[in-house]
Amino acid sequence: MRRRQDTSFRVEAATELMPFLLAKLGGMTRTSVKQLLSQRRVTVNAGIQTRHDTPLKAGDVINILQGRGNVELRHPKLRVIYEDNALIVVEKKNGLLTVPYNPKSSEMTAYSILKDYVRKQSNRNTVHVVHRLDRETSGVLVFAKSAELQEYMRTYWKQLVTRRTYVALVEGHLEKKEGTITSWLTEDNQTAMVYSSQTDNGGQKAITNYKVLKATTIGEGDQETNISLVELNLETGRTNQIRVHMQSIGHPIIGDRKYGHGNEYSPIDRLCLHARTLEFIHPMTEKKARFEAPLPKEFKVVES
């Protein structure tokens, strides 16, 4: 018996995925199209896509996969944003390690969850860490599906990444609404603390650009606290860079027990740092790929 072929379409003008599929798949209802998406049977430029409002541009290639589709990752701490034959891009929740501290550890990590996920697709599939986020930092993470691609992306990370944007809730109201923090960072191997110096002391040069998105006051009376929602764009990616830089200007990140005051000044019981946007040159297509993880609900205290 011949295997049914996948259906392929090329986008001719900018639109969104839902209206495009409704136009191309004549007779299908919105519910049926959403079912195709939930079954992971729709790809955009070879990457599995599940969002009906995904923006499309002229030249994009849409495939409808035959059969039952791929295994879906269902986990409260990890969500697949994008996947193709080379990469998996995920949104990691706070409280989950990227990789174990000890290779022999049985603790659940983003790596162990994805390792199990790709093995369910095929026993030959593997997953490899490209970069990391701290346990308490949420946001966008990238994994490679081969050791060779992992090595390539790690080697050329600075050249491949075109934008890394974080958002954070910090203590207080910043005097300057935007600026650049430049310092040299050194790590104490005994305490694992990173220290900032305004002069070149042999440490690693670190540059963080920041912009205040909103400042507000929460609580009442003695419990009144000034907080700010800040956007941070990295020119370098040093260990604990954002946390140390915000501490260095007197506005540590809320919930930071290592470089700040923990949740002493906020009812939010987490480190309020989130990797919102990661944009890089896809190593296979050589085109810019941009991925975002929405602002965590805890951060929306500034909107209340």
Task: Show which residues are catalytic.
Answer: 134
CA distance 235 to 214: 23
Half-sphere exposure of 33 (CA within 13 A, CB side): 21
CA distance 9 to 59: 10
DSSP class per residue in 227-244: EEEEEEEESS--TTHHHH
CA distance 60 to 15: 11
- Specify whether the CB–CB gap between 239 and 161 falls below 8 A: no
Phi/psi for 301 (5° steps) reads -60, -25
Q: Going by C-beta distance under 8 Å and a sequence separation of 6 or more, which residues neighbour residue 74?
A: none
Residue type, 61: V
Task: Please classify residue 200 by burial: count the beta carbons closer than 10 Å to its beta carbon, then call 0-12 exposed, 13-18 middle and 19+ buried.
Answer: exposed
* Torsion sign (Cα): 11, 46, 286, 89: positive
CA distance 164 to 130: 14
Dihedral of the alpha carbons of 214, 296, 87, 133, in degrees to the nearest 10: 80
Tokens of 81: 């944003």
Cite the DSSP H helix spans in the chain: 17-24, 30-38, 110-121, 147-155, 157-160, 241-248
CA distances from 90 to 110, 156, 218 (A): 9, 20, 32
